[in-house]
Structure 1
Amino acid sequence: MTPTILLLNLSLCFAALTALCLSLNRHHTEVFQSKPSARRILLLRVLGWTGIGLSLTVAGVAEGWNFGPVQWIGTLTGAAVALVLLLSYRPRLIGQACGATIALAVAVSAMLQFA
């Protein structure tokens, strides 16, 4: 996997897992000090699962469907470890970290588009 594809995939996985994490009452309350509405929970879950599917598609198209899903599992695991560590030690930074990874994913996609 090229470093740019790896960075794109890692940022997509982190953002998707963060959305799924924040769809849980406990984590949402810990990060934002308020309970999420039913509409927000649904939106976060849809965004999370869409991001995971998109990251699998990126890995499969970039590396081929024989090896891409294997590397996708690795990036998904790395993003999950980063999210768990951040949630354990600095939960208030989750929103900012998610925003940064989304911006990174958009920048890397634009870079790949024009390369």
Structure 2
Amino acid sequence: MTASALALSLCLSFSSFAALALSLDRHHRAVFRVPAPRSRTRSLRAAGWSGLAVAFAASVTCSGWNFGPVQWIGGLTGAALLVVAVMSYRPAWLRAAAVAALPLAMLALPFALGA
């Protein structure tokens, strides 16, 4: 396991969990101050679940089948804790943090694949 592979998994999982959180009406209202339209809810759920699948694929690609799923579960745990912390203390920051995590994941990708 390298730090870049873990950062990749963490960033992808964070963005995915943020999308899943924002697909819930209560969290959507906390961030956007309006109820979630049905079309946005569906697209956020699809993006969240797809992002978790991409995070799993990235973990397995970077660390192999022996350690990849373990690394993915660790990234899920850390990302879920971060989403809960942001939603608890600064819900308006969740959208910006999730969008910022995607370029960070793309920066970590070449280093994670090279290891």
Please, what TM-score do these two structures have when normalized by structure 2?
Answer: 0.92
Aligned residue number for residue 90 of structure 2: 90
- Stretches of structure 2 that go unaligned for 5 or more consecutive residues are none
- Stretches of structure 1 that go unaligned for 5 or more consecutive residues are none
Q: State the distance in 1 between where 2:14 and 2:67 align.
A: 21
- Shift of the alpha carbon at 1:20? 0.3
Deviations 1:69-110 (A, max 9, x none): 011101100000011011101111101111110121122235
Aligned residue number for residue 36 of structure 1: 36
Give the aligned residue type for 1:71.
Q
- Shift of the alpha carbon at 1:24? 0.3
Kindly tell me the number of residue pairs found equivalent between the two proteins.
115
Backbone CA RMSD of aligned residues: 1.7
Task: Detail structure 1 runs of 4+ shifted over 3 Å in the superposition.
Answer: 110-115
Percent identity (aligned): 43
- Shift of the alpha carbon at 1:65? 1.0
- Shift of the alpha carbon at 1:114? 8.5
Greater relative contact order structure (CA < 8 Å, 6+ sep)? 2
